[in-house]
Amino acid sequence: MKFFKCFLQRNSCKFQRGSRIVNLCCAAAVLIAVLVTTSGCAERDVSSKRLGGRETQKEVLCEITKGPFLLRTLPERAALMWETDRDVTGKVYYGKDKRLKNSVSAGSIAVHYKKRAGGVRADTNAYIHKTWLEDLQPGRKYYYRIDKQGQTYSFQTPSGSSDEVRFVVYGDCRTYPQRHRRIVKQIIKRNVDFVIISGDLVENGGKYQQWGTQFFKPLEGLAESVPVYALKGNHDRSRQKYFEKLLTPSGELSSFSFDYGPVHCYCADNYTGEPGEILSEISKDFRSSRRTWNILSYHEPTVNFGGHWSRWGAPDAMPLYSKIGVDFVLTGHSHLYERFRPVAPKPGTDGNYVTYITSAGGGAPLYGVKSTRFHACAKVVYHFCLFEVKANKLTMDTIDIDGNVIDHLEVTKTAEGLNEEYRRSAVPMRAIQMYRDLHAVELEPLLESPKKGEPFDVVYEMDTPQIGEPVEVRLSLGCEDGTYKLPEAKSYSIGAEGGAFPGRLTATALVETKSKLSEDKEMLLVDPPLWLQCDYRSGRMKGKLRWPVFLRFEED
């Protein structure tokens, strides 16, 4: 802009009445100057001294289209990511104060994708930059800026001597970015040290445009100054490896660990590799931890009694976590909130009491969950988990999208383990495993509502995994009094290796029936209600499970 002003002055270009051609030329020059300095990328002349002479170079200014985004902050280094609309070598200026005495350059990773605009799909290029800021000091505040024209941001490196930390965990922020943004606004108010997002960051990891709208955009105002440790979910996988290109720092893997104050965290990618291999890496990591609190996070749960009813890593994961000293397992995948009562180690062992939490209310459509005797809290709600740790005391508040606390936990740890009051609330590991594993029943939907006085079949298959010990199972239909004529129950003896047990039970409606949507609007239920019930016993353990009979349902 200064160049064009100077040009106009030198050439006496004045807007005088009657000089239409001169006026048009000058106006065009001014318009070009404005467009160049206000749009996308521009080129400007900068001077540099070389061998005593003066040489003109061109510095390309680009628009930052994603980020900046803090991928890691460690005591002596930090990883940074950003995206531009031009293929240039980016540069980060950083330092302990705003003079930003240090700098580092970063090349680009090119991404080519189709972008829809105005109903038309057009070829688009984006350029991802990632770099490490080196030679930092623990417990210090640092400032940084992307290129010379960028905004200045700051972040804090973790201190090796601090015994306090405040952090957030949540998952499944995909699909509805407005809801995710509301969650982020609540998190910003809490002044946290780091954030873990346990996967399913976007609805379709192979659609590059979604990474901007569903993940990076909602996190603006937070991820520039607070590291966001993003884990891979099933929706984030793609043959283009966009997750790795965007969110894995140079030289690192998608599974990683870090320490912050009294907490050790391991973030696992439980979609890359076999479960046995992943569990082996988890074991190796936690056996070397020297922190007071050990936190494990990944996407697909090991214990989850709603939504997908996941059992990742079974039957080995739960005994292993207790043995290696894990305190909390934080997962996502099923879009709901559930905190289990602490799970006691196997009798005769000295393992940890482990707390399992499913936190997947970051923006995706919610799933149903019903509280069981194994739950401390179970809710269908958008939320995040806020942890505050001071030495041997851990506090967790689960906060909904409007800022209300919906669950609260306080627990302390001594040389003997977690405080006695918390341990007394524990549930046996085998009891919770059996309840989870025997849920593996698949009901076939009815094709139409039962007609009064006419028999109909409820067809099912119990396909139990390896459950470790024999169990006696009794399957029956249940209903409200006087609504259906019910058949006799069927009994099965299931061995430790599990197995598949198909069958059918024939009932007759005694009243007129209809259908109704379930509370989560995912199923079309028979009304009056009819359900398949499983009563089971194994040694001194016994329990009960129930599944509603439903109709074929095709959503419009």
Encode 449-475: b = buried (16+ Cβ within 10 Å), e = exposed.
bbeeeeebebebebebeebbeebebeb
pLDDT > 70 in the chain, percent: 88
The CA distances from residue 314 to 285, 421, 479, in Å, are 19, 28, 33
pLDDT digits (tens, 9 = 90+) for 124-162: 999 999 999 999 999 999 999 998 778 999 999 999 788
CA 298/CA 280 separation, integer angstroms: 15
The domain locations on the chain are: 2-61, 64-159, 162-435, 438-551
Tell me, yes or no, if the two domains 64-159 and 438-551 fold the same way. yes
The overall longest dimension of the chain from CA atoms, in Å, is 104
CA 392/CA 476 separation, integer angstroms: 48
The reported pLDDT for the residue numbered 523 is: 87
CATH class, range 438-551: mainly beta
The reported pLDDT for the residue numbered 415 is: 85
DSSP symbols for 147-189 = TTTSPEEEEEPPPSS--EEEEEEE----S-HHHHHHHHHHHHT
Burial of 439: CB neighbours in 10 Å, binned 0-12, 13-18, 19+: middle
Burial of 286: CB neighbours in 10 Å, binned 0-12, 13-18, 19+: buried
The reported pLDDT for the residue numbered 50 is: 33
CATH H-level superfamily of 64-159 = Immunoglobulins (2.60.40.10)
CB atoms within 10 A of CB 302: 26
**What element of type H or E holds 35?**
helix 20-38
Domain 162-435 has CATH 3.60.21.10: yes
CB atoms within 10 A of CB 287: 10
How are the residues of the chain apportioned to helix, strand and coil, as percentages rounded to the nearest 5?
15, 40, 40
Task: Tell me whether the omega of the peptide bond preceding residue 315 falls within 30 degrees of 0, making it cis.
Answer: yes
CB atoms within 10 A of CB 276: 9
Burial of 494: CB neighbours in 10 Å, binned 0-12, 13-18, 19+: buried
Residue tagged 């909904």 (tokens): 400
pLDDT digits (tens, 9 = 90+) for 203-221: 999 999 999 999 999 999 9
The reported pLDDT for the residue numbered 114 is: 85
The reported pLDDT for the residue numbered 23 is: 47
**What element of type H or E holds 36?**
helix 20-38
Provide the CA 220 distance to its chain's centre, in angstroms: 16
CB 458 within 8 A of CB 507: yes
CA 282/CA 326 separation, integer angstroms: 10
Type of residue found at 363? G
Task: Sheet containing 441-443: give its strands across.
Answer: 441-443, 455-464, 499-509, 484-485
8-state DSSP, 556 = -
CA 66/CA 127 separation, integer angstroms: 10
pTM of whole model > 0.75?
yes
The reported pLDDT for the residue numbered 555 is: 55
Angle between helices 317-324 and 429-437 (to 10 degrees): 150
**Paired residues of 544 in beta bridges:** 535
Residue ranges in the chain whose pLDDT is less than 70: 1-61, 554-556
CB 485 within 8 A of CB 439: no
CB 237 within 8 A of CB 267: no
The reported pLDDT for the residue numbered 60 is: 54
CA 407/CA 372 separation, integer angstroms: 16
